[in-house]
Amino acid sequence: METPDGLPFDIRITGPDLPAAIAPSMILPSDIPKDPKWRETYHLSVAPPNVAFEMTWGPGDPLRILNFSRGDWEAQLLEMAG
SS3 category, 73: helix
Which is nearest to 65 in space by CA: 45, 50, 41? 45
pTM (predicted TM-score): 0.83
53 CB burial (10 A radius; 0-12, 13-18, 19+):
buried
- In the chain, where are the structural domains located? 10-81
Per residue in 36-67, pLDDT (tens digit) is 898 999 999 999 889 999 999 988 889 999 99
The pLDDT value recorded for residue 2 is 81
Cα distance between residue 82 and residue 66, in whole Å:
27
How many other C-beta atoms lie within 10 A of the C-beta of residue 71? 11
The alpha-helical segments, DSSP class H, found in 1-82 are: 73-81
Per residue in 4-44, pLDDT (tens digit) is 778 889 999 999 988 888 888 999 889 999 998 989 999 99
